[in-house]
Amino acid sequence: MSKQKTKFSCQECGYDSPKWMGKCPGCQSWNTMVEEIETVVRTQGMTSSIPKTKEKAVPIIHIESSSEPRVVTSNKELNRVLGGGIVPGSLILVGGDPGIGKSTLLLQTSFELTQAQQKVLYISGEESIKQTKLRADRLNASSPLLYVLCETNLELIEEAIQETNPDFLVIDSIQTVFHPAITSAPGTVSQVRECTGHFMRIAKGKGIATVLVGHVTKEGAIAGPRMLEHMVDCVLYFEGERHHSYRVLRAVKNRFGSTNEIGIFEMQEVGLVEVSNPSELFLSERPLGVAGSAVVASMEGTRPVLVEIQALVSSTNFPSPRRMATGVDHNRLSLIIAVLEKRMGMFLQNQDAYLNVAGGIKLDEPAVDLAIAISIASSFRDQATQPFDVVFGEIGLTGEVRGVSRIDQRVKEAEKLGFRRVIMPEKSLKGWTHPKGMEIIGVNTVAEALKAALG
């Protein structure tokens, strides 16, 4: 016997309530409670509703360890983010802003997998098969092993998977797929949760690598309950400004690799093209000999990236000055300004401070502290930095410069791009040999770094 029950579910966190509320008690979001109809199935006994399994618990020492064979695509940037390639049977969630290029990336990846004799099933719930064909023609991504289907019914999608038996499956997007046994609308918490569970069982049971495209909210997080991210093996975010040509693919969860790697692409007429040297891209429009500019050697996983940090310090008439940061943590900017005021004697209490990482990339490692301090001091003194200097180092609250890791990779990347001098922590000079022709300046305090950079 079954009984229908009405409930209200939060579309942000999945909180359930028997009545409607304007504010969700779970995530404190407003106007996110949506009415859903839940079908409760009554059974005679408790054990009849529990699925039985033939698996038995075994000691972990008796389990044979075997490395999962990965499918390596010709897209090196995607392989880097996934940890070396696509693991068969994995469930991957890709999110990003509308129009950022998620469908383009997955269609190109599907075509590249067909070149390795992998059968691919691309299911689109937002576009017809003719629209998908137009995109494939523009990207030159047509192959007899690439199957395309326009369907949103989960039962029909399962039938198509049974018929084609693909090696790689793309669902674009999970918010458009619905289960006919659930009465709520597609995209609601119940539908997304149930459909994702079905695709997870298909991926693990048949060994099909599955990619789900997820919509994002206005804050940039993947729409739906956070349980969606817990169910999948990898969560990838496709980022970038729509007015810029480059895109950044970043992993925030990866059960088969590191989450520190990023992949950088450039959007062109033929689709997304890999950027093998992102430092050249971020420094291509850098002005030389201007105040408030410094180049930092940052690490994104195992890849060194040279990025320009720009600062603008101007006087203000308001009692509380503004502190704005784009690309770095706002609290980190306030901390470094406080160190400059206390340890260097700079009077910044009546100055607005604006900081920007040129190119729109986000930096979250402490090694960028020294470049932030030098760019702020350069703009405050209206004194230009040396155009061929690279700076990196962590700043402590007492004004000391702390050591950072992967020094040799940062310096080699700077040498490759023609930089001649590196200002870095003196504590990191031991244990490696710097390249010939590069001037290495080790500093222990912020005062020494400012003297070396600005004179």
Q: Which residues are annotated as a binding site?
A: 96-103
d(CA 406, CA 84): 21
**How far is Cα 334 from Cα 58, in angstroms, rounded to an integer?**
54
Q: Which amino acid is at 414?
A: A
CA gap 384, 140 in Å, rounded: 48
The first and second tokens of residue 448, run together, are: 């020494």
Residue found by looking up tokens 């569970």 in the block: 197
End-to-end CA distance of the chain: 83
Is residue 143 a contact partner of residue 187, using CB atoms and an 8 Å limit?
Answer: no
Q: Nearest Cα to 409, choosing from 390, 383, 385, 382?
A: 390
Backbone angles phi, psi at 282, to 5 degrees: -75, -20
Binding site, annotated residues for ATP: 96-103
Give the Å distances, CA to CA, from 421 to 296, 414, 436.
Answer: 12, 9, 11
C-beta neighbour count of 183 within 10 angstroms? 15
Structural contact between residues 127 and 150, judged by C-beta atoms closer than 8 angstroms: yes
